Structure 1
Amino acid sequence: MNILILIAADLVAITLLTFALYLRRHRRRDLAVSYLGMNVGVLAVATALSGSTAAVGLGLGLFGVLSIIRLRSTELAQHEVAYYFSALALGLIAGVGSDPLWLPLLLMGLILTVMFVGDHSRVLPGYRHQIVVLDQAIGDEALLRERLALVLGARIHSATVSELDLVNDKTIVEVRYEAARQPGQTRFAEHSPFEAPQPLHLTDPAAARAS
């Protein structure tokens, strides 16, 4: 009877994880299918092996093998990796089970709660990470940070140069920054050597001739 409850709990949990959390926030259908299939597959294998004395070891081995295969197939973002391991963990916990029924149910609820809070849009909403290509070779770190702050209109936390091309006058840099909270708000240095772009003023030709 407990195994039926755990299977039902896992199906509810993976449905919430996939559709209520991941798909609603990130809209990537192929990974949603992957999460569902992987979870149910791990659940089926772990449930079939639950009567064996080596159930836990085989379950963890399956967890590792599937993780390596999946992570080597395509490049995943860090939040997608977190959802992927959460889907695997839900299936493994439900399949292996535990004598006190409340323990696996509590662990599954804990995983959902952590993913709900950790991937919420209100948690560090202004923090960003991206690769920026500048049309100028900048070797000085202080000048580079000022230029990035001017371009991104943000507070720069770290800037790691991936490529400094002196021939083609180009800099490729990996930037972690905090975006401005209000539209149009910038946080670059006041005395930056780089000039901010000036607004373009359009003049009506007829009005100009009349004046």
Structure 2
Amino acid sequence: MHRRSRGVVDTLETYGQLVARLAIDLTAVSVLTFAVYYPRHRRRDLVPAYLALNVALFSVVAALSQVGGGGGMALGFGLFGVLSIIRLRSDSIQHEEVAYYFTTLVLGLLCALPHLPLAVAGALAALLLLVIHVADHPRLLSGTRRAVITLDVVHADEAALRADLARRLGEPLTWTVKQVDFVRDLMVVDVRFRVPELSGRVARTTRRTALSATRSRTNALPVPRPPAKETV
């Protein structure tokens, strides 16, 4: 009788731990997806992918912790196979979105590890969220851009190509020629460049000047006077 009651208590503690870990995982992945990723990138198609991948990985790792022997080994090989077929090299997925993919995976793994204390799992999840929040912040390295452009001329001289890129985009930091078409006289260049520092100031100054000119023209217009009343 004592053993049976002890087993019931252990089972309840196990389920309690599992629910607590699942709550930490769902909270972390929700913050990652809805508070960090979507407001910055606005790709709704990747939101269910992040959530489903995280919860699925959490479920598999939780099952691995409960199954021993050959069953656990089989699930381990199955997990390795599932992760190996995930393709993250598509051109439609940017590098920062790949970082969100791996953060989602790691959150599911951390929160589902049975022997990791809840406090440590929560702290590591918070650390991951902080790192991805800072690393993908719009103000971090905001003056650097990347673009793949098609030029209507083929530059054989590197200096001429650099000057053309600087005229069109800004200061080029590095570039890679991806395609050259001598028949149509085109070349495709993947370029990293720095936005001119004064561009924002010039744009703001231009807007202020235009607004001031508009107000000046408005103030210069004659104000219509009401017609004089006739005296009977």
Shift of 1:3: 2.4
From 159, 182, 191, give the equivalent of 2:175. 159
Gaps of 5+ in 1: 187-211
Change (3 A) 1:56 1:14: farther
Residue 106 of structure 2 corresponds to residue 89 of structure 1:
yes
Offset of 1:72 from its aligned partner?
6.1
Q: Are the aligned partners of 2:60 and 2:75 in contact in 1 as well (CA < 8 Å)?
A: no
Q: Which range moved further: 57-66 or 10-19?
A: 57-66
Q: Which runs of 5+ in 2 are unaligned?
A: 1-15, 203-232
> What are the residue-to-residue correspondences of 1:34-49 with 2, within 5 Å?
34-49=49-64
CA deviation after TM superposition for structure 1 residue 50, in Å: 1.3
2:186 alignment partner, one of 141, 161, 170: 170
1:149 counterpart (166, 169, 180): 166
C-alpha distance in structure 2 between counterparts of 1:142 and 1:118, whole Å? 33
The runs of at least 4 consecutive aligned structure 1 residues that moved more than 4 Å come to: 53-61
Q: CA deviation at 1:2?
A: 2.7
Contact 1:46 1:95 in 2 (8 A): yes
What SS does the corresponding residue of 1:162 show, helix, strand or coil? strand
Quote the RMSD (CA, aligned, Å): 2.6
Report if the CA contact (8 A) 1:59-1:92 is conserved: no
Equivalent residues of 2:143, 2:197 under 8 A apart = yes
Pair 1:16 & 2:31 matched: yes
Listed one character per residue, the Cα deviations across residues 34-62 of structure 1 (whole Å, up to 9, x for unaligned) are: 10111111111211221245769956862
- The answer as to whether partners of 2:33 and 2:47 remain within 8 angstroms in 1 is yes
Where does residue 180 of structure 1 map in the other structure?
A: 196
Deviation at 1:73, TM superposition (A): 7.0
1:209 match: none
**Structure-1-length-normalised TM-score:** 0.78
Map 1:27-176 to 2 at 5 A. 27-53=42-68, 58=75, 62=79, 65-66=82-83, 68-71=85-88, 75-152=92-169, 154-176=170-192
Q: How many residues align?
A: 185
Identify the range of structure 1 (45-54 vs 17-26) with the bigger mean alpha-carbon deviation.
45-54
Deviation at 1:64, TM superposition (A): 6.2
**Greater relative contact order, per chain length (Cα 8 Å cut-off, separation 6+):** 1
Percent sequence identity is 44
Q: 2:192 is aligned with what amino acid?
A: R
Q: Is the 8 A contact 1:155 1:177 kept in 2?
A: yes
